[in-house]
Chain A
Amino acid sequence: MDNRQKEIDSLKDYKYGFTTDIENTRAPKGLNEDVIRFISNIKKEPQWMLDFRLKAFERFKQLKEPDWQKPKYPKIDYQDLYYYSAPKSMKDKPKNLDDLDPKLLETYKKLGIPLQEQKRLNGIAVDAVFDSVSVATTFREELTKQGIIFCPISEAIQNHPELVKRYLGSVIPVTDHFFATLNSAVFTDGSFAYIPEGVRCPMELSTYFRINASNTGQFERTLIVADKGSYVSYLEGCTAPMRDENQLHAANVELVALDDAEIKYSTVQNWYPGDKDGKGGIYNFVTKRGLCKGKNSKISWTQVETGSAITWKYPSCILKGDNSVGEFYSIAITNNHQKADTGTKMIHLGKNTKSKIISKGISAGCSDMTYRGLVDISSKATNSNNYTQCDSLLMGNKCGAHTVPYIKNKNSESNIAHEATTSKISEEQLHYCQQRGLSAEEAVGLIVNGFCKEVLQQLPMEFAVEAQKLVGISLEGSVG
């Protein structure tokens, strides 16, 4: 019993809240052309990349910060942020894992991320991003044998410029919205994956993001290209230390699926959510967009959103190729003073395109949760189909749950169906579980896990276990 209690206690707080004491190299504070040149320079980027950034920055200067979202936040001073922060020891890139700063390795060990290849955890290839730079990528050799490129994006810019040039900004153009454009101007690192024609990626690819330095915005960029007939499953995990101030995280993720290709993108987002009174925490303003460019292609987003003070993101699919498929599975949990405004966009352009949206929202404490989604079937998308289901669960009367779907149908041969419900955990279910010997909290955890099952099933094995635990922890203290 003692052990069990200890375990529960250790889970109650945000267990990734430690900071790592590592010397940092930072760009000067503030946002201007010089900082962008500094970032580009330190990464030894070619001219076209710098032009890309500057073009985005020009555009950024004309854009206004959007304010239509439900969770409001105090104004961010973009001049008061560091846009680049890297562990000093990374300056001369380590050749292999043994050269890595032992403190870094220790951090990732605490996070439970298998950087050491010998520790093989079910064979997941990991790219770890610490503040602004990618620190290590594992299993590279095995992947190279198959022709798969999986490396930090800064390396890809050096080694595979033709691929990056062709696809970077093709889904999220530099002239997109405020935060996406900011990212295009100042992004520091992220992952790049290219799966060649006809290859089925033999293992899960994975990225772990961690914000360590204070006052730093993390702007990473992920680009995944699945060539004809290929398949890849990609995982993303995020954590950050506990700090009193709010930190900005504005990443861009672009997916491109060519003919007959399939990309499965899973996220378990567990940024620091702030303390019980809503102090601190990460602002998670992420742009994720996938383009089903080729025929019969498929993109599937799965997300488990438990962290962050404010989550504001809409992973989207543009179904351009005929017969392409887009899927979106989401669990969003908010507790205490967390806020989330999340959902998806399914833009049907090609014929016979299909999309499916399953969204589960759970709000507890004083939190606020919004599902906001768009389904748009254009007049050319004949014989397309969409099914949307969004369910919300409320715990207590201080929290809110909202559903704001936008549904546009311009094609008479296409069908759209949308359903949404809002309810609370029924007394009978709780009573039944408690009668069978579960505590109130265990009972809630069990019921919530059942509520989310449809989405949890979509996650790869290792992630599903972690996500299930996370669901329980996130709701800790919300009942009784």
Chain B
Amino acid sequence: MKEQLQKDFDNTIKNLTLSQKDIEIKKFYLDNFINKGFPNRREEDWRFSDLNQIIKKNIGELSFYSDYTSTNKVDTSVFVDGLEHNKIVFINGRIEKIDFDYEKKDQIEIIDQSETINKFNNNSPLCDLNSAFNNKSFKIVVKEGYQLIKPLIIYHTTNSKIWSKNINLRLNFELYEKSSLRLIDLFRDTSEKNFLNIFYNFDLKENSILKNYKVDKFENKNIKYSFNNIEQDKNSISETFILSSGSNFCKNEINCNLNGEYSSAFVNGIFSINNNKHHEIRTIINHLTENTKSYQLIKSVLEDSSKAVYQGKIFVNSKAQKTDGYQLSKAILLNKDSEFNAKPELEIYADDVKCSHGSASGSLNEDSIFYLMSRGLNYQQSIELLINGFLLDVVEKITDPEVKNLIKNMIGIKE
């Protein structure tokens, strides 16, 4: 893999106009990654999902160089109907379109950061890989007091032109005081056997609101890793919703630093997976100051020989008195070959806190099925109704009505 990395790195550098110093920095990240390699189960964070093995088994040899010199045609048929929205379109990892047609132009700033190296607050090998190879990166700034009229949908589309490729994306968001942003990450893949490695950074200033929805719904054979870092100032709110369903393997990591008083973070997620899929959500909520709040709810429905993993951590440092932290994960195993692993973790150094977590996994309640069947439903209908209700609970947590409807339609949940 080492020669491949080195070769692809040289090719990537050729197409960029970087200063010698920046190339050195990128080289440094490359060397870091070469030393560490893809994470494997010996690392605590990856003990339930051995990425090294997963890539070996599903993809084999990866290549890291992508030719971004030619443009791809934007296929408008993938766009979401019935909801006016702003767009960022990635095709095979290349940014093809950024448009904020519905917004006041002077309130949103798009800064091209491709020519500068921006450090990311994470030293995992995947972050090193991303820093070494990511091509164009943008910073999107929402100005003070501006609230976006329409949501922003980021389309991640891939097509059959690429295979066995590693794609590295990075975006930065900065939300100034009292601003707000609704963001939907939407994956539409028609390619196979690629590894997407996505890093987002969010900087939330005082009183800003971020609603961050990640939708991986459509069936595909790709492997995905996404890391979101959210820095929160005073009174800011972040809401994250994850629908984890379509990809062969997918791991979503949310790292949330509650730096300012009265800031709050909400993370809700659904695993709905079948076949041999293996999905993971890992959350780390760091309560770093007084009077902060976090709430997490993860529900899973596992069919066939699928496997879901939830690792959630609430960290409370000694300054963070009056913290309120809550975490709940529930899983239904529908097949004898499915598997659910959880590691809900509390690390607490302050005494005046209210922190709790719960985790439950098991089969559907036979009594409930019996009840529904006695009311005239057949077995299959009863199960569907119960699962519908089970998942609806999480979808109802979405605070934005437009997006809530969109997601409900997408997964076919009825009220």
Contacts and interface: CB of A to CB of B under 8 A. Distances in A.
A132 B280 CA distance: 49
B103 to A, nearest CB: 43
Contact of B334 (A402, A408, A411, A412): A412
Given A394-B351, A412-B334, A404 B343 contact: yes
Interface string A397-418: 1111111111111111111111
B140 interface: no
A312 B362 CA distance: 31
B159 to A, nearest CB: 37
Given A409-B331, A412-B336, A402 B346 contact: yes
Interface in B312-365: 318, 321, 331, 333-363
Contacts of A41: none
B415 interface: no
B44 interface: yes
Most buried by B among A392, A396, A398, A418: A418
A420 B335 CA distance: 28
Contacts, number: 114
A48 interface: no
A439 interface: no
A402 B315 CA distance: 9
A379 interface: yes
Contacts of B360: 415-418
Most buried by A among B331, B343, B351, B358: B351
B356 A421 contact: yes
A409 B354 contact: no
- What is the predominant secondary structure among interface residues of chain A facing chain B? strand
B355 A409 contact: no
B191 to A, nearest CB: 32
A412 B365 CA distance: 12
Nearest to A420: B357
B345 to A, nearest CB: 5
Contacts of B355: 421-423
Nearest to B318: A397
B365 to A, nearest CB: 10
Contacts of A398: 318
Contact of B361 (A407, A423, A424): A407
Most buried by B among A407, A414, A417: A407
Nearest to A371: B346
B336 A405 contact: no
Contacts of B44: 68
A395 interface: yes
Contacts of B359: 405, 407, 416-418
Contacts of A414: 362-363
Contact of A412 (B333, B343, B346, B349): B333
A360 to B, nearest CB: 15
A392 B357 CA distance: 12
B352 A405 contact: no
Contact of A396 (B343, B351, B353, B354): B351
Contacts of A68: 44
Interface in B372-402: none
Contacts of A420: 344, 346, 356-358
Interface residues of A, number: 34
Contacts of A408: 339-341
Contacts of B353: 394, 422-424
B318 A403 contact: no
Interface residues of B, number: 35
A406 B343 contact: yes
Contacts of A402: 345-348
Nearest to B345: A404
Nearest to B325: A422
A474 to B, nearest CB: 17
B354 A423 contact: yes
Contacts of A409: 331, 333, 339-341, 361-362
A411 B335 CA distance: 8
Nearest to B339: A410
Contacts of B337: 379
B263 to A, nearest CB: 20
A398 B319 CA distance: 10
B357 A415 contact: no
Contacts of A395: 351
Interface in B6-65: 44
A428 B359 CA distance: 30
B81 to A, nearest CB: 38
Nearest to A417: B360
A396 B361 CA distance: 35
A419 interface: yes
B350 A397 contact: yes
Contacts of A411: 333, 336
Nearest to B343: A406
Given A68-B44, A412-B333, A422-B356, A405 B343 contact: yes
Contacts of A416: 359-362
Contacts of A406: 341-343
A314 to B, nearest CB: 16
B349 A422 contact: no
A397 B349 contact: yes
A397 B321 CA distance: 9
A379 B336 contact: yes
B349 A399 contact: yes
A404 B348 CA distance: 11
A314 B321 CA distance: 31
A418 B358 contact: yes
B286 to A, nearest CB: 14
Interface in A170-198: none
Contacts of B345: 402-405
Interface in B62-103: none
Contacts of A417: 358-360
B362 A419 contact: no
B352 A424 contact: yes
Contacts of B361: 407, 409, 415-416
Given A405-B359, A409-B361, A419-B356, A397 B344 contact: no
Most buried by A among B44, B336, B337: B336
Given A396-B351, A424-B351, A418 B333 contact: no
A-B pairs, 3 with minimum CB distance: A415-B362, A412-B333, A394-B351
Given A400-B349, A417-B359, A420-B358, 12 more contacts: A394-B353, A397-B352, A398-B318, A402-B347, A403-B345, A405-B359, A406-B343, A407-B344, A407-B361, A414-B362, A418-B360, A423-B353
14 contacts: A68-B44, A392-B346, A397-B321, A397-B351, A400-B347, A402-B346, A404-B346, A406-B341, A406-B343, A412-B333, A412-B362, A415-B363, A416-B360, A421-B356
